Structure 1
Amino acid sequence: MNNTLHHHLAPKVQEQWGPPLPDNGSLNGSLGDMNATGIAQIMIPQELFLMLGLISLVENILVVAAIVKNRNLHSPMYYFICCLAVSDMLVSVSNVVETMFMLLTEHGVLTVTAGMLRHLDNVIDVMICSSVVSSLSFLCTIAADRYITIFYALRYHSIMTTRRAVAIIVLVWLASITSSSLFIVYHTDDAVVACLVTFFGLALVFTAGLYLHMFVLARVHSRRIRALHKSRRAAATSMKGAVTLTILLGVFIVCWGPFFLHLILILTCPTNPYCKCYFSHFNLFLILIICNSLIDPLIYAYRSRELRKTLKELVLCSWCFTM
């Protein structure tokens, strides 16, 4: 791939926040290319990015379709989970589109202009930034929803109405798209990196604080719910939802944490040899981000019997339709 294509197609997370790029490679490539610092840059085959992106895309489409199809899943929590799946889809779609563009251009199948690549680059960057901002926002929203479910069980349906849930969803998406567009316009400013890192930290502190409070006092409130003639199953279901979202949060931290640590090191020690060594693993951090989109649907299916049942029906119907 020529240098012009490489310069424009590599997203700004790599161009601005990644390590120096090799002159003769692409965002994905062979193992062991050397970057400008002389440290071996770990590269990943483009085909692996494409395969993981396609699997993740199919999984998240199935989750969204299952929630839309099954009326038993039409509740605020599953609406938020549906939006979380859409956020994961943004990562998958951007990865698939970019990788296919690279492969087609490398093999001479597709010829594009620099202007076209620049526009594609901007669209992909907005999708990726929107994904991380909306994912964090919906994780916080789901945590708040579970908190209300457990501690305000009798008033839950009056507090978290469908209209309020839809308003929250619209607000989150508007804020995510707007902030992501601003991040891309001012991507060369260190303040953008600082804002992303700060938002990541605040979201984790907020969510972790809610979950800690939930699990410390959940037993007491479960007894109160049962004392008010609510079924033991209702309390158990609420806690199960909280556990599911705790797992989702843990997976998010594991998959996105290395990338945000990368951003922190860029701000604090960009020339330190140890930091430069960490920067050389940037492409592995990208793989982890894609894996987050791939793992989340498996968690939904494993933790929710109703969703798992609907997913099986969708897969079987698709299989029968193709026969």
Structure 2
Amino acid sequence: LLNAIHHRSALSQENLENETNSTAGERNWLNCVQIRIPQELFLALGLISLVENILVIMAIIKNRNLHSPMYYFICCLAVSDMLVSVSNVVETIFMLLNDHGLLDVNPGMLRHLDNVIDVMICSSVVSSLSFLCTIAADRYITIFYALRYHSIMTPHRAIIIIVVVWLASITSSILFIVYHTDNAVIVCLVTFFCTTLVFNAVLYLHMFVLAHVHSRRIVAFHKNRRQSTSMKGAITLTILLGVFILCWGPFFLHLILILACPTSPFCNCFFRNFNLFLILIICNSLIDPLIYAYRSQELRKTLQEMVLCSFCFDV
């Protein structure tokens, strides 16, 4: 799917180049800034992101204090980020080996590899958005239904939600790859992105406006502490969503422009930096684990213990 999007962008640029080379004004768009990204940077960022997310997943599995629905969802979010990292590393290694003549791959194998990578990336974006919504709903229940939280969000229900999200993400991704030439695929992705943003925005607005009023109803100290912890989780999720929008926003804007103005000089200038948008997506996978560690003292402590133990073992 990503290759198809990039190919359609390149075709739009080529068509526009053929149509606009007569006047100086029409040639100006050819001078637009195009940032070239070396393949080695893709590989380095992908490997760092992969290691970070593996550490987060291992820390959540290791520490029993983190065995709660919210951290189950965060673990799945880390798996989603890891899918981006793995797909990027595999694709970059193949491209580097092919560019240096160290790998002779037939077109059929490359096509299958592209399909697998695209399924992984599509599954990542769909599952990431889904789990961001799930975590938002979990924080909402924690804040406004604190006394009934453990009866509403049980571990069994959390596991069911996780299974449904992954099945839906993988199934929809396969369908997207099968029908990647249809504009409906891009429309579905953009619509899903916008819908999840609206859903989260509504929950956040309700949480942050009414949380103060709700907290006054809870008098006991330990419940106040729970309320504070819940709001901290909501703030963490807000940061995660903000980073997600910043990193994935240009890519979804790219999709919108493909539908809205595929032959416009301005839009084609935007298309020329497709690799930059991919780098931003990888950066999202790299930044998320840092947010988890910074915002959660328990997770940070577990990560530190794991890194120190690994270092001592190596020594």
TM-score by length of 2: 0.91
Is 1:193 the counterpart of 2:195 in the alignment? no
> Post-superposition shift, 1:51?
0.3
Q: 1:103 aligns with which of 90, 96, 99?
A: 96
Question: Considering only aligned residues, what root-mean-square deviation do their CA atoms show, in Å?
Answer: 1.8
Name structure 1 gaps, 5 residues minimum.
1-8, 24-36
Aligned mates of 1:292, 1:117 — CA distance in 2 = 26
How far the C-alpha of 1:42 sits from its partner, in A, is: 3.1
8 Å CA contact 1:55–1:294 kept in 2: the answer is yes
Q: How does 1:19-58 map to 2 (within 5 A)?
A: 19-20=10-11, 38=30, 41-58=34-51
CA displacement 1:244-281 (0-9 Å, x = unmatched): 00000000000000110111111111111111111122
Write the deviation string for residues 71-124 of structure 1: whole angstroms up to 9, x where unpaired: 000000000000000000000000000000011111122211111111111000
* Alignment correspondent of 1:246: 238
CA offset at residue 283 of structure 1? 1.3
Structure-1 separation of matches of 2:147 and 2:109: 55
The alpha-carbon distance between structure 1 residues 315 and 249, as it changes in their structure 2 partners (threshold 3 A), is: same
Aligned to 1:86: 79
Structure 2, unmatched stretches of 5+, are 15-28
1:316 aligns with 2:308: yes
Greater helix fraction, Structure 1 or Structure 2: 2
Contact 1:91 1:127 (C-alpha < 8 Å) held by counterparts = yes
Once the two structures are superposed, residues 161-208 of structure 1 have per-residue CA deviations (whole angstroms, 9 ceiling, x without a partner) of 000000000000000000000000100100100000000000000011
Q: Is the 8 A contact 2:12 2:268 kept in 1?
A: no
Alpha-carbon offset, residue 10 of structure 1 = 7.3
CA distance in 1 between counterparts of 2:13 and 2:109 reads 23
Matched residue SS, 1:99 = helix
How many Å apart are 1:238 and its aligned residue? 0.5
Q: Percent identity?
A: 77
Report the counterpart of residue 123 of structure 1 in structure 2: 116
Q: Which residue pairs with 2:21 in the alignment? A: none
Which amino acid letter does the alignment assign opposite residue 284 of structure 2? N
> SS at the partner of 1:92?
helix
Correspondence 1:161 to 2:163: no
Call closer, same or farther: CA 1:21–1:52 in 2, change over 3 Å: farther
Distance between the aligned counterparts of 2:6 and 2:284, measured in 1? Answer: 18
Which letter maps to 1:133? V
Q: Which runs of 4+ in 1 moved over 2 A?
A: 9-16, 18-23, 37-43, 227-232
Segment of structure 1 superposing worse, 79-88 or 310-319: 310-319
Higher relative CO (Cα under 8 Å, sequence separation at least 6) belongs to 2
On the 8 A contact 1:244/1:303 being kept in 2, the answer is yes
